[in-house]
């Protein structure tokens, strides 16, 4: 999509507080300053359909070059990302307000993922040979092959503009699909730069593109593609699924979270507190898997809270540069800081205490202070709804059973973590109701691309990573091959007297597990 790429953006000076895009153009703001970085034309539904049609026309050839051929091109993308990451990070930092350390996780994850799927796709997607379960099928060869959905549409959010767009495009492309991405309207620039490089600098086959816009563009993409990978809020996820139902388009939804952390008595409290500080504040808490709620067994509570408050209280915040690195950046979406403020104010009004932080930072840019709340309970928004900001609420639990009850008392079930002595922590972790749980660590499951992760409950449908993370972009085709056969199978026409009831008699003979039934008698 020429109109949606960074090359076609108009860099514009000055500030403009309006976050809402005009109908025919997007204004991309710098959350660290509020300044306008660029305006982009919005892609109409017709442009979306034409883009999908164009990559669709190239998909068959892309599929035909095979797993190694596709890994060759994705390997070129890996090399380009390694060689150009500073340039991409500059763009992404501008549009997200992230600190550099947080931004740099994005290319790091992607280059690893390219190699992960590039070297394992044959194992995950290779043709399977299955032994027939029944002697009646002895003359058949059974094979299963994985054929890609021709065009995969990816709709992504603003919190990790590359990981949550390209991180899904990589397995889809490796599987042989063509891909069209609609990035968030808040953060379209870094992704557009990479897509442009795929097309022009790398010169890869024309099977990857992006379209720009808000919900209307996303809806048009749902209409045009064969599979939708959506990452975003559960509110939008429901709309996407309803729209996809109209064309019976399969979806995979990676939605919100309200991830719990359980700290058991006997845990290494320094490690637990440092993990909670990083897991709660990294990327300004704008991670679907951020630690948002913490339940601490009574004997460990006071010491843990003191250590956590000290760790969070020390964090530096602001726009960083190489000489002056900071820990916590801006809130990327202007809408989100209002939600964070609302949750914290709601908790404080109902009797919670902020041991550190607790308010929006005055001055330019959208910053919210890293915040530790205590005296919270499950009647408060901050313990029930996704806050998606640099805020954690800490509650005391009588014992591990109560901690588990609190942890599982949520409509979300994305991921979680348990800190404690090894065996006990592991047995508690196995009972947390979520798609991925970490023992004595946080967020790390996202790097373990070997194992699937996906949300339970209202956190989503489908999986990323592992075999399911690439197979979902494929349709399975079972091939049943006759190795030998007579001119006519016994079950075929004509239905003679002898053949009448033959199928039933044979099924009885093979499936009855006692002699009497095998011969048609009741046991
Ligand atoms: P969002 O739901 O507002 O938007 C996500 C994307 O959907 C954007 O590109 C948006 O333009 C598009 N969109 C909006 N309306 C649409 C419609 N009607 N049809 C099609 N597309 C539409 O989410 P957000 O605010 O960008 O991101 C934050 C949310 O994403 C949080 O809830 C967070 O938990 C979630 N998230 C989940 C994961 C995960 O892997 N589970 C990862 C990151 C973020």
How large is the average pLDDT for residues 215-244? 98
How large is the average pLDDT for residues 413-433? 98
What pLDDT was estimated at residue 22?
Answer: 40
What pLDDT was estimated at residue 6?
Answer: 35
What pLDDT was estimated at residue 291?
Answer: 98
User: 254 CA distance to ligand 1 centroid (A)?
Assistant: 9
User: 279 CA distance to ligand 1 centroid (A)?
Assistant: 21
CB distance 489 to 498 below 8 Å: no
What pLDDT was estimated at residue 298?
Answer: 98
Beta bridge partners of 234: none
The reply to whether ligand 1 has any atom less than 6 angstroms from the CB of 253 is no
CB distance 161 to 55 below 8 Å: no
pLDDT in tens, 100-126: 999 999 999 999 999 999 999 999 999
Q: Does 161 score more than 70 pLDDT?
A: yes
Backbone angles phi, psi at 8, to 5 degrees: -90, 0
What whole-number distance in Å separates Cα of residue 241 and Cα of residue 236? 9
Q: Mind telling me the catalytic residues?
A: 254, 288
Backbone angles phi, psi at 48, to 5 degrees: -60, -45
Contacts of 204-207 spanning 24+ positions with Cβ under 8 A: 204/73, 204/76, 204/77, 205/58, 205/61, 205/62, 205/65, 205/73, 206/54, 206/55, 206/58, 207/55, 207/58, 207/59, 207/62, 207/173, 207/177, 207/178, 207/179
What pLDDT was estimated at residue 322?
Answer: 83
Number of Cα atoms under 13 Å in the Cβ half of residue 173: 33
Place of tokens 């109560």: 402
Q: Does 18 score more than 80 pLDDT?
A: no
Of residues 174 and 502, the one with the higher pLDDT is 174
pLDDT in tens, 264-305: 999 999 999 999 999 999 999 999 999 999 999 999 999 999
Tokens of 492: 């075929």
What pLDDT was estimated at residue 363?
Answer: 81
- How far the first Cα of the chain sits from its last, in Å, is 70
Candidate of 157, 210, 211, 456 to mutate for ligand 1, largest count of ligand atoms within 8 Å of Cβ: 157
The reply to whether ligand 1 has any atom less than 6 angstroms from the CB of 167 is no
Task: State the Rg of the chain over Cα.
Answer: 27
Mean confidence (pLDDT) of the chain: 94
CB atoms within 10 A of CB 396: 18
The reply to whether ligand 1 has any atom less than 6 angstroms from the CB of 460 is yes
How large is the average pLDDT for residues 240-244? 98
Q: Does 4 score more than 90 pLDDT?
A: no
Tokens of 176: 């042989």
Per DSSP bridges, beta strands 371-374 and 391-397 are: parallel
User: 156 CA distance to ligand 1 centroid (A)?
Assistant: 6
CB distance 388 to 339 below 8 Å: yes
Of residues 503 and 314, the one with the higher pLDDT is 314
Number of residues written out for the chain:
523
What pLDDT was estimated at residue 23?
Answer: 62
CB distance 53 to 206 below 8 Å: no
Lowest mean pLDDT, pick from 120-129, 330-339, 460-469: 330-339
Q: Does 7 score more than 60 pLDDT?
A: no
Q: Does 10 score more than 60 pLDDT?
A: no
pLDDT in tens, 176-197: 999 999 999 999 999 999 999 9
**Exposed/middle/buried for residue 129 (C-beta within 10 Å: 0-12, 13-18, 19+):** exposed
pLDDT in tens, 399-419: 999 999 999 999 999 999 999
Q: Does 14 score more than 60 pLDDT?
A: no
What whole-number distance in Å separates Cα of residue 262 and Cα of residue 407? 8
Candidate of 21, 23, 232 to mutate for ligand 1, largest count of ligand atoms within 8 Å of Cβ: 232
What pLDDT was estimated at residue 13?
Answer: 29
What whole-number distance in Å separates Cα of residue 269 and Cα of residue 275? 10
Nearest to 448 by CA among 434, 456, 436, 460: 436
Q: Does 164 score more than 60 pLDDT?
A: yes
pLDDT in tens, 377-406: 999 999 999 999 999 999 999 999 999 999
- Residue 184 CA: which ligand 1 atom is closest? 9
Confidence band, pLDDT 50/70/90 cuts, at residue 364: confident
Nearest to 77 by CA among 174, 210, 220: 174
């Amino acid at each position: 999509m020429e109109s949606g790429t960074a090359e076609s953006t108009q860099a514009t000076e000055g500030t403009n507080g309006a976050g809402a895009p005009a109908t025919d153009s997007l204004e991309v703001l710098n959350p660290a300053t509020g300044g306008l970085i660029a305006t982009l034309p919005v892609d109409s539904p017709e442009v979306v359909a034409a883009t999908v049609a164009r990559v669709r026309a190239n998909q068959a050839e892309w599929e035909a070059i095979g797993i190694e051929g596709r890994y060759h091109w994705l390997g070129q993308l890996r090399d380009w990302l390694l060689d150009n990451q500073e340039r991409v990070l500059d763009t992404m930092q501008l549009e997200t307000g992230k600190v550099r350390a947080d931004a740099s996780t994005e290319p790091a994850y992607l280059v690893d993922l390219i190699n992960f799927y590039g070297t394992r796709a044959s194992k995950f997607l290779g043709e399977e040979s299955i032994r027939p379960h029944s002697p009646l099928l002895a003359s058949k060869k059974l094979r299963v092959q994985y054929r890609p959905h021709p065009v995969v549409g990816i709709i992504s959010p603003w919190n990790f503009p590359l990981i949550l767009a390209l991180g899904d495009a990589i397995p889809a492309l490796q599987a042989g699909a063509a891909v069209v991405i609609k990035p968030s309207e808040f953060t379209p620039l870094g992704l557009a730069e990479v897509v442009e490089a795929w097309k022009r600098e790398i010169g890869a086959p024309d099977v990857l593109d992006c379209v720009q816009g808000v919900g209307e563009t996303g809806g048009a993409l749902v209409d045009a593609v064969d599979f939708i990978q959506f990452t975003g809020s559960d509110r939008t996820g429901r709309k996407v699924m309803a729209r996809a139902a109209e064309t019976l388009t399969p979806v995979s939804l990676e939605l919100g979270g309200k991830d719990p952390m359980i700290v058991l008595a006997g845990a290494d409290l320094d490690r637990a507190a440092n993990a909670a500080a990083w897991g709660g504040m990294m990327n300004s808490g704008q991670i679907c898997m951020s630690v948002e709620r913490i339940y601490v067994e009574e004997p460990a509570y006071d010491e843990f809270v003191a250590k956590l408050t000290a760790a969070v209280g020390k964090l530096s915040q602001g726009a960083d540069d190489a000489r002056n690195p900071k820990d916590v950046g801006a809130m990327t979406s202007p809408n989100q800081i209002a939600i964070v403020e609302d949750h914290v104010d709601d908790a404080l009004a109902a009797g919670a205490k902020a041991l550190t932080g607790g308010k929006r930072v005055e001055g330019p840019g959208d910053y919210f202070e890293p915040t530790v709340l205590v005296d919270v309970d499950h009647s408060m928004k901050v313990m029930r709804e996704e806050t998606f900001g640099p805020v954690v609420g800490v509650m005391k639990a009588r014992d591990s059973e109560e901690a588990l009850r609190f942890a599982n008392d949520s409509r979300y079930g994305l991921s979680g973590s348990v800190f404690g002595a090894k065996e006990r922590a592991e047995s508690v972790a196995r009972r947390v109701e979520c798609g991925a749980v970490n023992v004595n660590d946080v967020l790390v499951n996202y790097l373990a691309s070997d194992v699937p992760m996906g949300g339970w409950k209202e956190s989503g449908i489908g999986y990323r990573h592992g075999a399911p993370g690439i197979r979902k972009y494929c349709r399975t085709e079972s091939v049943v091959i006759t190795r030998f056969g007579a001119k006519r199978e016994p079950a075929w026409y004509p239905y003679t007297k002898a053949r009448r009831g033959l199928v039933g008699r044979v099924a009885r003979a093979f499936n009855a597990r006692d002699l009497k039934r095998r011969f048609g008698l009741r046991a």
